[in-house]
Amino acid sequence: MSVVNMPIEYLVPHPQNPRKDLGNLEELTASIKENGIYQNLTVIPVNEAVPGEEPKYMVVIGHRRLEAAKRAGLQEVPCAIVRGMSETRQLQTMLLENMQRSDLTVYEQAQGFQQLLDFGMDIEDISQQSGFSKSTIRRRLEIAKLDQNKLKEISSTRQLSLKEFDALARIKNLEARNKAMEKIGT
């Protein structure tokens, strides 16, 4: 793995980045304008071996830093180029990186844990790699079972607390759980 300063126009966001909302970038942009980027992005080559084409690299870690760097007017950013990373490993890396963020909602964590299970990890693996306890992971996985469309609708007007999610998880019947979710906080 080598770290190089790379022109921003060579970088593209990973289409499967689990973090869809990059959040407020004002402070990060101001910090980058003032101090530059302290931590490199992690990228994988897309077409660096294609003659005559501008090389492209897909961002695996650092989507927020890349966007803030663009807003700050930087022309290039430090990148660690990783070769030979499987698609599954790319997704696991992005999910685990985002799990460490304190600004993820409980439901975003739940979705991330479920995706990691879908990629073949077990609760023990997720616990070891993410730092979350197995009981927290199990609790979040119960949240992932909720009706996503209803939850998005509810989340647009109010945010459910972890206590409310835990109360919902005690309802064994999933249909009853989803009906109760509609009533919480009203």
Token pair recorded at residue 68: 């803030």
What pLDDT digit, counting tens, does each position of 57-89 carry? 999 999 889 999 999 999 999 999 999 888 888
Distance CA 135, CA 139 (A): 6
Token pair recorded at residue 94: 């992005």
What pLDDT digit, counting tens, does each position of 87-141 carry? 888 888 887 777 766 566 777 778 888 888 888 888 998 888 878 889 888 888 8
Per-residue pLDDT at 158: 75
Phi, psi of 66 (to 5 degrees): -65, -50
What is the model's pTM?
0.66
**What residue spans of the chain are helical by DSSP H?**
26-35, 63-72, 87-99, 106-118, 123-130, 134-144, 148-155, 162-169, 174-183
- Name all domains of the chain by residue range, CATH numbers in brackets: 2-81 (3.90.1530.10), 87-183 (1.10.10.2830)
Distance CA 156, CA 77 (A): 35
